[in-house]
Amino acid sequence: MSGRTCINKKFRVRARSISAVRHHVTTTLIDWKLGGLIEDAALITSELTTNTVRHAKGTGDYFELALRRRNGILALEVADSYQWRTPELLKPAPDDLSGRGLFLVDALSENWGVRPREPGKTAWAHLALHRAGQP
């Protein structure tokens, strides 16, 4: 792992940022020697970012991604300035075309949630480092 255990980066609120977030997560976790978490971490941050891009339009030009490694946990956070709608875990019907993002986040993470910030909110998820072969 590099000497850094926290990375914050801003991205524009637009669809193109979703793949940029996945790439950033992948390269950061390679640098941190946490390759075993890349698939789950990239999918989780992709889903959290998709929620921001879909629902936080018109609330600011940027959102922030934070990756933190601490106490045996990889914390993934996506913060935006949209404060009127909090993401909710839905149980989509088999024929629903959307609504599975947080269902996937819930299935892949140790835990997840949303906390308020001023302005807006931060959606977060935790992955245990032992899943990547780390203590």
Q: What is the pLDDT of residue 66?
A: 96
pLDDT over 50 (residue 15): yes
The CATH fold assigned to 6-132 is Heat Shock Protein 90 (3.30.565)
Tokens 């609330």 found at: 59
- Calculated CA dihedral for residues 8, 63, 21, 32, nearest 10 degrees: 10
Which string of DSSP letters, residue by residue, matches 51-120?
HHHHH-TTS-SEEEEEEEEETTEEEEEEEES--S---------TT-SS--HHHHHHHHSSEEEEEE-SSS
pTM reported for the whole predicted model: 0.84
> Exposed/middle/buried for 41, CB within 10 Å: 0-12, 13-18, 19+?
buried
pLDDT over 60 (residue 3): no
Q: What is the pLDDT of residue 69?
A: 93
Residue-wise pLDDT tens digits, 118-133: 888 899 999 999 876 6
Domain ranges in the chain are 6-132
Residue-wise pLDDT tens digits, 61-120: 899 999 999 889 999 999 998 766 666 666 766 665 565 678 889 889 999 999 988 888
Choose among 124, 130, 129, 92: nearest CA to 111: 124
CB-based contacts of 61-65 (< 8 A; 24+ apart in sequence): 61/12, 61/13, 62/10, 62/11, 62/12, 62/13, 63/10, 63/11, 63/13, 63/17, 64/8, 64/9, 64/10, 64/11, 65/8, 65/9, 65/10, 65/11, 65/21, 65/24, 65/25
How many residues would you count in the chain? 135
